[in-house]
Structure 1
């Protein structure tokens, strides 16, 4: 019985090393800017929803087109820096989320391949154990613990009968 290998592409040691080094480089480059927010902080500061993003962009557009009408109490350089940082982070997060989804998809396929192969090995071992070939019975017992055993009606009646 041939197995269908859903994910035949495996990562070479060079690819793994390069990916991990790149991830470490990103973590190192950005670590100084990270802030930890408590649950309360996340609730307090919340998320700027789409309508509010449009509002922020409109204020920026009006600032650019009619600076004389802008509030002088605002540090507009900081405002633009915040906006630029937010845009960078949003784009970076979107790329990371896409990367994470692709990694999860690959992992699912590798997990599936491993599980199917393990089931084939278990069935093979059961076949060999039924042929009374040495060593397979203990292997089947070891592997069998991972499968829930359903109780037949006959066994249920036998267990329910008082002794």
Structure 2
């Protein structure tokens, strides 16, 4: 039984340490900006859908290009700061999401490689247990618990 190593890209210790350092730095810089919303608060404040974002963008455009038409009751300095922060946060979260998805997909491939190797090792232990080698008999019995009757051993589902 053979398997393919679908992902042969592996982080070095140095790369992993650099990533951990960068993530810790990112966390420290972002700490004061992080907000925990309750489910009710998320429902209450999360109503700015794509259509409403278009409204905000159009109001911002009028504010920047035809200031004489803006409402005096709005704190436009704060509006500008919120608008810029929103753009920056969206840019950061989009980048983090792309990185997260790519890393998660790489993890899936490594999970698959590990699972296929584990199946190969289990098959070998099963073969060797048949030779009455007590060490392999123990290993085979120990691994056998992960296989239930009626299911095939070689499934491609994520482990």
Q: Would the TM-score normalized by the shorter structure come out above 0.5?
A: yes
Counterpart secondary structure, 1:97: helix
Which of structures 1 and 2 has the bigger CA Rg? 1
Q: C-alpha root-mean-square deviation of aligned residues, in Å?
A: 1.4
- d(CA) in 1 for partners of 2:75 and 2:33? 20
Dislocated runs of 4+, deviation >6 Å: none
Structure 1 residue aligned with 2:97: 97
Measure how far apart 1:2 and its partner are: 4.3
Measure how far apart 1:126 and its partner are: 0.7
Measure how far apart 1:3 and its partner are: 3.1
- Alignment TM-score, normalising by the size of structure 2: 0.90
- d(CA) in 2 for partners of 1:105 and 1:84? 32
Counterpart secondary structure, 1:84: helix
Structure 1 residue aligned with 2:155: none
Unaligned runs of 5+ in 1: 152-163
Counterpart secondary structure, 1:73: coil
- Alignment TM-score, normalising by the size of structure 1: 0.88
Kindly report which structure 2 residues correspond to 1:15-34, keeping only aligned pairs within 5 A, or say none. 15-34=15-34
Measure how far apart 1:55 and its partner are: 0.7
Unaligned runs of 5+ in 2: 152-159
Matched, 1:82 2:86: no
